[in-house]
Structure 1
Amino acid sequence: MNGFDTAGLLAAAARYEDALRRDDVSALDDLFAPGAQTLRAEGGSALVGSTHVAAFRRRRGGAPPRWLRRVHLRVVSPDDALTVSETERLDGGSGLQTQLWHRGPDGWQVTAAHVSGAGPAQGTPGAAAADPAADPFEDTATWRRPTEPAPLPAGSGDGPLRGVRVAVKDLVAVAGQRTGGGVPRWLQQARVNPANAPALQALLDAGAAVAGIAQTDELAFSLMGVNAHHGTPPNAAAPGRVPGGSSSGSAAAVAAGTADLGLGTDTAGSLRVPGSFCGLYAWRPTHGAVDTTGVLPLAPSFDTVGLLARRAAVLAAAASVLLPAPDGGPARRPGALLRSRTLTALAEPATALAVDAALTALAVQTGLPLLDVEDDVTTEEVRAWTEAFRTVQAAQAWAAHGGFLTAHPDALSPAVAARFRAGADVGAQDLAAARATIERTRERLDGFLARGWLCLPSTATPAPPVDSTPQEFEAARAGTLQLSTLASQTGVPALGLPWGRVGELPVGLCVLAPRGADRSLLALLDEVAPREP
């Protein structure tokens, strides 16, 4: 779209959405082209002429609330463009808005529009209540049965998270239970936890309750959600496809509606990847912002404790509980949303296109400028960054669990064991070189984030089929790591928005903010999603 006034069009679309929310009919009139040929269609009829369209707006008394999820922009000519916006309503229904825009003396205006809607989809994840008589642990690919007689912890009974059911990743200490790490042999030798991990305790103190202990990929060293010991949790958002990992059970439970919130970890993308594959909101905090005490480590330089949720309001409320107390100042909005064409192109083309539609929706809905950053980042440089991350991660993973693997060489599946053992071969010189590369990555990303929040695909592809070959899984994993480890290497917070669609498969848009800006990043959800619980 070189030479096309994308910024001007998106600014006009943002003014339209703002006017629609406020029922500012005068502003809406100004955004529709005057004249007898302007039209607006809905249902089985069309209004022809701008005066008739304006009269309709004054009669209807405002439009029902809606939230943009994807905006598809197609350029017709330098002065004409078509937008197709996919929307979500408060009742779970969806809608479409097609607008033909023309740039004239008064700027960008709508010359023709068509609006349609549909009721809540049947069988959407979490739409139906779980059968109270069903055994919640029957799905052993998603849930790990408790090994101890102690009951699972209940919440305080009151607080902002009252009634929220939490799927706790089997890396997080649950009082009275053992931590299994997705490995039967590890579970056998584990001791009973005397207390809840502080992150879990904070959720319980706010009224949440433990729905169950959710399965994880083996010692969290995987991104696909496949586990040779207990199987692959089902993906309710993409049946027949993997849920992503390593917070696989937590994501599967939340997507299926048997939990409202997933408490998991993210080292290289283990929340954002399942969020993308399962159509969930995902939050990786600033490194060190949430206490990791009582959580089984993988690579402490990158490990974080974060969240997954179907609904943005639940994620925001839970994240607020986990974060340190606010400083009292207002949330800071970024100056712009940034898009790097080099980074976006690391995703397969269909995924990049889907995420671009989600990003356009985010820009229109927030009114923030969408800027294509002029950067000299090359794909070769990104590969070097990723390789440096994998070197440090492997070395730290071996330091954390090498003793266990040495004592129990057959405890892990061959692919996961090989990742750990690669860390044993990392020498001091290679480790120092990798750390130096990561520091340069950090400086480069800080330069981006000084100008705005960086937006990129959460994953390189949608969820692969469950029956993919090991080579196909590894290709998906390697491609995604180039995107997901940017936040990991630099310690910045990341928010996954589940708005992209490749066909019917969800893919996530990931927004990166400066370190410590978690509350400002999460405040974005209040602008773009329903507030109601």
Structure 2
Amino acid sequence: MDDLLAAFWAYERALAANDLAELDHWFLDAPDTLRAEGDNVLVGHAAIADFRRGRGGAPTRVVERVHVVRPAPRVAVVTAETRRQDGTRGLQTQVWQHTEAGWRIAAAHVSAVAAPVPDDRPDPAVWRVAGPLAQSSGRGALAHVRTAVKDLFAVAGQRVGAGNPVWLRGARTEEEHADAVRRLLDAGAELTGIAQTDELAFSLAGTNTHYGTPANPAAPGRITGGSSSGPAAAVAHGWADLGLATDTAGSIRVPASYCGLYGWRPTHGATPTGGLLALAPSFDTAGLLAGDPGLLRTAAEALLPATETFVPVTGLVVDAELVELAEPEVRASFEAACRALHLPLARVSTGVAEHLDDWFAAFRTAQAAEAWQQHGAWITAHPGALAPDVAARFDHGRRVSAAQLAQAEQVLSDARKVLDAVVSPGTALLLPATSGPAPRADAPPEEVEAVRAATLRLTCLASLAGLPAVVAPLLRVRSLPVGLCALGARGTDRALLDFTAESRSPAHA
């Protein structure tokens, strides 16, 4: 397998450089070698070489996933999933034959799928307050970057709605911006509007019973994921370039996965949370969503402390037992995406899976207890204000005893020590960001809850340990996006963001 993939990537480098001699080298020098694209079929090595010389290069693209099938000895079929800069997706399938000189391409087929036409009609379930609410200064690294702010952050002159109309009616008008909002504005960003959230941010579905379900343009008819549903939908639609959001148990990572976006959950405590309505402060973080990894990295710089020690990611780790938590099609796409990465990858048994049920239970106990501590008085004073599923999560927190909370906190303390040993500086643990693609918007509640529970087993690792995680839209299940999550050591946010951006370096078709 290694020599085949080495040949494949050598061919990709030749494409990127438009190195005609090298391209001729990798195609089998035979009269029946094939290359097909659209309705055009080229037969023979000489005809393919003439085509290469005449077309003058090809559009820039990135290879996102690589699939390999070995149907017979000395024969391999390699299919690469690609994306061009304009959003067009394509497939390149090659039949490789092992000769005395090594692997050579005996047949190739290239296809492209047109990028979807953007829908510019605003979804009223996305915005609670449409803007712009603050114009860009025109200066700074984020000059003119349109930013959607989740309706948990204070925005001067506005109220925090928290995804619930009863909460909104009782909220005061904010006199100052939340710290994270102010930092983005100071870097030149434009505040495009206040985007909806799930009720009090205690959900992963993005289905708000009061304001509706935002449309997911990356997966029509399916949910966006929550609780950062509004910012995710705004960025996915192209109505905003950047989403300022929160992640407690996966509320950035899940929408990023479902909507085909890049998402960043920072090291706990690395970004400012002043002026943010809390859910569970031991796990709450302020992070970002974007459609471009370079913008995500630039915007993160406005929120991160200047003192972070930088150790670049030089190695990747995959634990098969953790990957098994995802659905079979997700696992297959995950393996294909791993083949398209350019860093050494070690397959190890971290031992995390054997503890995961206990860790997950402790995390849910501690999160629910803190959520009740934050909002229990308000919920008690406003019976019936919350949707039944959200109310049930808070009620679980109400019933957590002091002894149960102390025991959960001890389990989480032990878990952090284990995970700190797994992801040392310079290493990233790769996982599927969610257990599957986005559920259908009309799925029954019990199905959505089952998907939520399965996904939380993947997302809770970064949350319970306070570790940084970056999601990239590198997996595909049929036509639906699923994110690949890179989990790093605490305090290595910049390195993790750089790894994500650099892993998408373009090649040529």
TM-score by length of 2: 0.91
Q: How does 1:121-132 map to 2 (within 5 A)?
A: 121-123=115-117, 127=118, 130=120
Paired residues of 1:389 and 1:438 also in contact (CA < 8 A): yes
Partners in 2 of 1:517 and 1:476 — Cα distance? 30
2:153 aligns with 172
Distance between the aligned counterparts of 1:443 and 1:10, measured in 2? 36
**Is this contact kept in 2: 1:309–1:315, CA < 8 A?**
yes
Write the deviation string for residues 146-190 of structure 1: whole angstroms up to 9, x where unpaired.
Answer: 7xxx98222222222222211110001111111111122222222
The equivalent position to 1:423 in structure 2, one of 397, 400, 406, is 397
Distance 1:326 1:408, change over 3 A: same
1:407-486 equivalence runs, <5 A: 407-450=381-424, 452-486=427-461
Q: Quick one: distance in 1 between partners of 2:242 and 2:41?
A: 44
Report the Cα distance in structure 2 between the residues aligned to 1:447 and 1:51, rounded to whole angstroms. 55
Cα distance in 1, alignment partners of residues 409 and 205 from structure 2: 26
User: How far is the alpha carbon of 1:467 from its aligned partner?
Assistant: 2.0
Alignment check: 8 A CA contact 2:154 2:177 kept = yes
Give the Å deviation of 1:45: 4.4
Question: Which residue does the alignment assign to 1:396?
Answer: 370
Distance across 1 between alignment mates of 2:291 and 2:132: 26
Separation in 1, partners of 2:406, 2:219: 41
- 1:300 deviates by 1.2
- Of residues 345, 370, 374, the one that matches 2:349 is 374
Letter in 1 for 2:461: L
Contact 1:153 1:174 in 2 (8 A): no
Is the Cα contact below 8 Å between 1:355 and 1:507 reproduced in 2?
no
TM, length-normalised to structure 1? 0.87
Q: In 2, distance between residues paired with 1:470 and 1:296? A: 27
Q: Does 1:359 align with 2:338?
A: yes
Query: After superposition, what is the alpha-carbon deviation per residue over 1:177-209, rounded to whole angstroms, capped at 9, x for unaligned?
Result: 111111222222222211111111121122211
Q: 2:36 aligned to 41, 45, 53, which one? A: 41
Q: 1 CA distance for matches of 2:5 and 2:273? A: 41
How far 1:350 sits from its partner (Å)? 2.2
- Once residues 511 and 475 of structure 1 are traced to their aligned partners in structure 2, the CA distance between those partners, rounded to angstroms, is 24
In the other structure, the counterpart of 1:111 is 106
Assess, with a 3 A threshold, how the Cα gap between structure 1 residues 411 and 203 changes in structure 2: closer, same or farther: same
Partner of 1:143: 127
C-alpha distance after superposition, 1:509-528 (max 9, x if no partner) = 11112222221222234434
Describe the shift of the 1:431–1:105 C-alpha distance in structure 2 as closer, same or farther (beyond 3 A): farther
Structure 1, unmatched stretches of 5+, are: none
Q: Distance in 2 between matches of 1:64 and 1:328?
A: 38
The count of residues paired between Structure 1 and Structure 2 equals 505
Distance in 2 separating the partners of 1:102 and 1:381: 45
Give unpaired runs (5+ residues) of structure 2: none
> 1:43, CA displacement in angstroms?
4.2
Against the structure 1 CA distance between its residues 404 and 386, is the aligned structure 2 distance closer, same or farther, given a 3 Å change threshold?
same
Which amino acid in 1 is paired with 2:70? V
Please tell me the residue identity of whatever aligns with 2:477: V
The answer (yes or no) to whether the contact 2:241–2:290 under 8 Å persists in 1 is yes
1:66-105 matches, cutoff 5 A: 66-77=61-72, 79-103=74-98
How far apart are residue 433 of structure 1 and its match?
2.5
Question: Does structure 1 retain, via aligned residues, the 8 Å contact 2:142–2:187?
Answer: yes
- Secondary structure of 2:280's counterpart equals coil
CA RMSD of aligned residues (A): 2.7
**1:291 pairs with 2:263:** no
Match of 2:184 among 185, 198, 203: 203
Matched residue, 2:286: 305
Residue aligning to 1:228: 209
**Is the CA contact 2:203–2:226 (under 8 Å) kept in the aligned structure 1?**
yes
Relative to structure 1, the CA distance from residue 171 to residue 87 in structure 2 (aligned partners, 3 Å threshold; closer, same or farther) is same
Identity of aligned residues (%): 53
